[in-house]
Amino acid sequence: MSRTIPIHLDSAGRGPGPAAAGSPAVRRMLIGLALGFAAVFLVLPLANVLVKALGKGVSYYQTTLSDPDMRAAIRLTLAVAVITVPLNLVFGLAAAWAIGKHSFRGKSLLITLIDLPFSVSPVVAGLVLVVLFGAQGYLGPWLDRHDIRIIFNLPGIVMATVFVTVPFIARELIPLMQASGNEQEEAALTLGASGWRTFWHVTLPSVRWGLLYGVILCNARAMGEFGAVSVVSGHIAGLTDTLPLQVEKLYHEYNQTGAFAAASLLAMLALVTLGFKALLEWRIRRRYERGQRAAPSGRMEAGA
């Protein structure tokens, strides 16, 4: 009985109804539910991927991964990420800077456009590219005449991936840019700094953690994108298959071990990404806590 008393006090006299959510039994049940859900739907499949991938032994796993088509898929996936992430980095920074620090016509339109890839199915994004640049598309004949291939080629895959990953960095930076306001930049200007210098020395450092976070998420998605890439890739083995496409292809060819080997690469990538993300969050939190600790002693000195 005595254990329920503090809970009643916590709920500020709202009665036992809402307070019940805080009782130890319910709390344990909710936590258990969340952990159980995560275990069944997140951890188990991931573990299964690794088990299946290594099902025929480590040497078979290595052979599968050294297959030329697999090698090509890995190279293509890395190439796509290496091109996509910097493009979105520049765009995300520019867009977030414009939206967060300035007011202009069409600002809300730009914000909506940045969100578009989140609300549109990636397959549709791929199809739009085919309609534009494909052989039967609007620009197809012109591209053909100039011997430029976009669809079923690296440019198309990159364009599809860029489209899908546009929001990741911009979305991460916009609130940060908005929150920091213009004062620091203005202070730099009054001290004689040029606009460019202000951007590099004041604006960019103030959002660097958010930027890194956005880059990590953007990279993960760029390597893992399936839908949009599938439409524009053409699935040419050894040429336009990325790792996610390779997984699907091997699976349909009843090469389960191969499919899971490729999948294990993507899964490991995800784990590395999550690791980076956790490290980053830990560093930010530590920095903040250190600041909190130092502030009171600072105040004491002010009083002395």
Partner 1 sequence: MSIELHQVSKEFGGVAAVRGVSFRVNDGELVALLGPSGGGKTTVLRMIAGLEAPTAGDIYIRGQRVNDLSVQKRNIGFVFQNYALFGSMTVLKNIAFGLKIKRWGRRRRAERVAELLELLDLCGLENRYPHQLSGGQRQRVAIARALAPQPSVLLLDEPFGAVDAKIRQELREWLVRLHSQLNVTTLFVTHDQEEAMEVAHRIIIFSTGRLEQMGPPREVYDQPANEFVARFIGVMNVFESEVRGGVARAGELEFPAPGRPDGDRLRLGFRPYAVQISADPAAYRYPAILRHAFFLGVVMRLELEMPSGLAVRARITKEEYTQLGLAEDAPVSFQIRQFRVFSRDDAAPAAETAVS
Which residues are within 8 A (CB) of 212 and not within 5 positions of it... i.e. 6 or more apart? 280
Q: By CB under 8 A, tell whether 302 contacts partner 1.
A: yes
Phi first, then psi, for residue 135 (nearest 5°) are: -55, -40
Shortest separation between residue 212's beta carbon and partner 1, angstroms = 13
Q: By CB under 8 A, tell whether 177 contacts partner 1.
A: no
Identify which range of 1-9, 97-105, 233-241, 293-301 contacts partner 1 by CB under 8 A.
293-301
- Pick the closest to residue 282 from 209, 231, 230 (CA basis): 209
Instruction: Return the number of the residue (58 or 302) whose C-beta is nearest partner 1.
Output: 302
Strand, helix or coil for residue 226? coil
Identify which range of 23-31, 127-135, 200-208, 249-257 contacts partner 1 by CB under 8 A.
200-208
Query: What are the CB-based long-range contacts (under 8 Å, 24+) for 48-53?
Result: 49/260, 49/263, 49/264, 49/267, 50/260, 50/264, 50/267, 52/256, 52/257, 52/260, 53/257, 53/260, 53/261, 53/263, 53/264
Strand, helix or coil for residue 148? coil
Residue 66 CB burial class (10 angstroms; 0-12, 13-18, ≥19): exposed
**For partner 1, which residue of 28, 75, 107, 208 counts as binding (CB under 8 A)?**
208
Residues in contact with partner 1, total (CB under 8 A)?
A: 26
Identify which range of 1-9, 89-97, 148-156, 177-185 contacts partner 1 by CB under 8 A.
177-185
Q: By CB under 8 A, tell whether 179 contacts partner 1.
A: no
Q: By CB under 8 A, tell whether 147 contacts partner 1.
A: no
Which residues are within 8 A (CB) of 35 and not within 5 positions of it... i.e. 6 or more apart? none
Q: By CB under 8 A, tell whether 194 contacts partner 1.
A: yes
Burial 252-264 (b: 16+ CB within 10 A, else e): eeeeebbbbbbbb
Q: By CB under 8 A, tell whether 301 contacts partner 1.
A: yes
**For partner 1, which residue of 169, 202, 250, 262 counts as binding (CB under 8 A)?**
202
154: which 2 tokens? 């690296």
Q: By CB under 8 A, tell whether 189 contacts partner 1.
A: yes
Identify which range of 6-14, 150-158, 257-265, 288-296 contacts partner 1 by CB under 8 A.
288-296
Q: By CB under 8 A, tell whether 178 contacts partner 1.
A: no
Q: By CB under 8 A, tell whether 184 contacts partner 1.
A: yes
E runs forming strands in 34-191? none
Shortest separation between residue 300's beta carbon and partner 1, angstroms = 9
**For partner 1, which residue of 197, 283, 285, 286 counts as binding (CB under 8 A)?**
197
Chain positions contacting partner 1, by CB under 8 A = 180, 183-184, 186-194, 197, 201-202, 205-206, 208, 290-291, 294-295, 298-299, 301-302
